[in-house]
Structures are given as structure tokens and as C-alpha cells.
Structure 1
């Protein structure tokens, strides 16, 4: 008589299959975060109106080559351009990751005069994305600390090679390249893809900004 091997109970198989699925999901999540995209939360008002406090973003880590590694030749990449939103490792605090707008690239001569950004002496129209929340203009002065007047008066200064000059859109409250200098391209981490969800904490714990879901910041 042929001996029949009993089947393993489905009750015993389920935990194994669930564990395997969770392991695969965890590996995929780690791979995705390391090489493809990462989550980022807007903590302050420095990038308003483009990005709001409580916006949760997905960051494309491939586009500037930061997360591509040996896969670089296989994925589309490009250099950072003026106007790009970028995330980068903090200069004053390397444990932080900042998000600002690139306004000048290597070789550009940057100047800010009475809050007006100039490149090579020519005024730049930033009205599409920049706001000023303080009407007061601080002139360059020996009687004011440099950290005060540099907000509204800067340069002229040339952006070094392999570097970017990055500013916050909410110009009067942003701490950016006016204070900590140009950002090396080796510190750039990525570019925002979209807002995957947004919560307005001031309006209540569960007050979500549904209209910002899948919003692509510019």
C-alpha cells in the first residue's frame, strides 16, 4: 500500500506565509527609501506659499543622482537648475534635512539689495513663488548685527563650483544660504515629487487638507 504523506495544516502555513510577505514588504520598503523615494514633512513656514506646515511629501532621490549609486546610468538624471525645489543635508546641523529653492548655481553672482534678488546685477522676478511677511527692510549697517541685515542685504558673492545658492520662499523668516552659505551639490538629497497628505494642526488634530493630496509643488 502506498504511504500518503499528510498535508501540512493550513493553520500552520498561514503564519509562515504572512511572515514571508512582511519580510518582502520590509525589504522593499528599505530599498525604496534608500534608493527611490523618501518621506519628508514640512516643519516650518519658511517655504510658504508653495509648501505648508504639515505637508507630507515624497522626495525623488534619483533625479539628481543622490540615491542612484551604481544604478545611475540606468535612470534619468539631471543637474539642479534655478527654480528647483531641493532637499539637502543641513550645513549647520548635519542631522537635519532642509528643503529650499535653488536660486543660483555654480558661477552665478548673487546679490540681494533691499530684498530684491539679483543675478549678475539683473533683478530676478520671483513674484510667482516668493512672499515677504515683514515690510521692514534692514540696510547693511555697522550698527546692526550681520545676522540681521543679511536677510535683506547680501553680496555680491559668486557661487563656488559644485555648489548651489538656496533660499526659502517665505523670505523674511527663512534661514538659508544668506546665513550658512552655498550648499555643496554633494549634500543634495532629492526633489519633491508630490504631497501625499497634509494636516493643518492649527485647525484641529484630524483636520486634513484633502485638496493638497497628490499636489505637485512647484
Structure 2
């Protein structure tokens, strides 16, 4: 996907240079020679920000140690599809989120806010947390990226942080969690993430310079769901 992005970016950049060059050769008045290329550049910048990439600053510790406070990142906005204003459906979708992807989305409780978490459960998955350990489809996850600050474990009757579920992820939704599990507001507290709220996939940490890197999306491999949360076996769909 990075190759597709850079192809689009280079293509747009070359196009902009050609536009500027054509205006210079036209020998029209100086104001037009300056205004029109500048206008073209602004339009292209808006297109890139709206459809392709966007920069974000990490304000909290909920994704430590993967992402730290004040990390500046670039998100790939087109990989999960681009939304059309006033509509929920998406266009130009290249792939759907996978378990382990670090995703950026509008906070379902307050869509004006943007959140970043790791995708843990896909539609149809059964999620359960036992004493801080996460199980997907009854399989315990080996999560090397998880960071725990609090050694205490709370029972489910007090809070869903350390003990939760089991619960099945509905169609068109995802279960997301912060890597800093003890200090993250995520699906354990406010529910599933609707697909239409997805806005991109974290790609690069570009600032500060000593933190520059491509963000690693840990691949989480688990058994595909074969039973519902009551233990009833699900039969393969007939063709």
C-alpha cells in the first residue's frame, strides 16, 4: 500500500510542477502567474489531506510504548476507504482492518474527536478478558506490544478493564484497545467501533527525529470463530 501511496504522491507532485511550468511559459501577467499555480497547489494539498494522508499528534499515553505523548505521526487515510460527505459508505477501499492494525477513527461517543487504538477483534470474533489477558475466539493472545503500569487486577463487577466478556463483535464493527491497557479509554468502556468511523491506519512517526520510524502493525493470528458465545457450534455457510 505504501507503494501505491508514493505513486499517487509522486504523480500529483509532477502534475503540480508541470502546471507551474506551463504558466511560466505562457508569459501572462505576473499576478496570474503567481495566483493560479498557488491555487492549484492549495487544491492538491486539500485533496492529499482529505483523501490520502494526514498528520496527527499523540496527546495521551494510551498507546505506550508503541506511541508516546507528543509523537507526530502520518496516517494513511485511503487504505480503509474514503468517506463521502453526508454518506456512510466508502469509496476506493483497498483493504479492511486486520487484527493488530493501529487504526485512527472518530470517537463514537463524540465524533468531533479523533482516537487511535489497536484493532483486536473483527466482526464475528468473540472477545474475553481474564485477569488482563485477552482471548479472541477462546485463544489467548501473545501481545508483546502491551504495556501494563498497574499491577492491580479489578474484578468485572467493579470495572471492565481487567475482566470483560465474553462478547461477540457484531457485523460492521471492531473491538479496539490501547496498548497501555491500564490507562486507555477503548472498546471495553464505550463499546464497539463502527466501520464508518474509521479514518485511517497509522503509518509513520516523523517527529521527534530520534523517534522516526515506520509504525509496526503486529499481526495477530487466531482461530476463526467456530462457535457463538453460548458454545453452540456454527456450521459452514452453504453455497
CA 70–158 in structure 1, closer or farther in 2 if over 3 Å, else same: closer
Q: Residue 25 of structure 2 corresponds to which residue in structure 1?
A: none
Q: Residue 20 of structure 2 corresponds to which residue in structure 1?
A: none
Q: Residue 212 of structure 1 corresponds to which residue in structure 2?
A: 211
Whether 2:66 is the aligned partner of 1:56: answer no
* Aligned counterpart for 2:59 among listed residues 37, 43, 47: 43
CA deviation digits over 1:145-202, x for unaligned, max 9? xxxx21111100000001100000001000000001110111111101212223xxxx
CA deviation digits over 1:8-42, x for unaligned, max 9? xxxx9444322223211111111111111111111
Residues 57 and 71 of structure 2 are in contact (CA less than 8 Å); yes or no, is this contact kept in structure 1?
A: yes
Residues 115 and 153 of structure 1 are in contact (CA less than 8 Å); yes or no, is this contact kept in structure 2?
A: yes
Q: Residue 192 of structure 1 corresponds to which residue in structure 2?
A: 202
Whether 2:131 is the aligned partner of 1:114: answer yes
Give RMSD over aligned pairs.
1.9
Paired with 1:20 and 1:85, the residues of 2 have a C-alpha distance of 39
TM alignment of 1:63-102, pairs within 5 A: 63-67=79-83, 72=92, 77-102=94-119
Q: Residue 135 of structure 1 corresponds to which residue in structure 2?
A: 151
CA positional deviation for 1:67: 5.0
Residues 82 and 91 of structure 2 are in contact (CA less than 8 Å); yes or no, is this contact kept in structure 1?
A: no
Number of residues of Structure 1 aligned to a counterpart in Structure 2: 185
CA positional deviation for 1:134: 0.4
Residues 83 and 90 of structure 2 are in contact (CA less than 8 Å); yes or no, is this contact kept in structure 1?
A: no
Residues 81 and 91 of structure 2 are in contact (CA less than 8 Å); yes or no, is this contact kept in structure 1?
A: no
Three-state SS of the structure 2 residue aligned to 1:164 is strand
Residues 61 and 67 of structure 1 are in contact (CA less than 8 Å); yes or no, is this contact kept in structure 2?
A: no
Residues 34 and 67 of structure 1 are in contact (CA less than 8 Å); yes or no, is this contact kept in structure 2?
A: no
CA 71–13 in structure 1, closer or farther in 2 if over 3 Å, else same: farther
Q: Residue 201 of structure 1 corresponds to which residue in structure 2?
A: none
Query: Please, which runs of 5 or more residues in structure 1 have no aligned partner?
Result: 1-11, 199-209
Three-state SS of the structure 1 residue aligned to 2:82 is coil
Residues 108 and 120 of structure 1 are in contact (CA less than 8 Å); yes or no, is this contact kept in structure 2?
A: yes
TM-score normalised according to structure 1 size? 0.79
TM-score normalised according to structure 2 size? 0.73
Residues 127 and 136 of structure 2 are in contact (CA less than 8 Å); yes or no, is this contact kept in structure 1?
A: yes
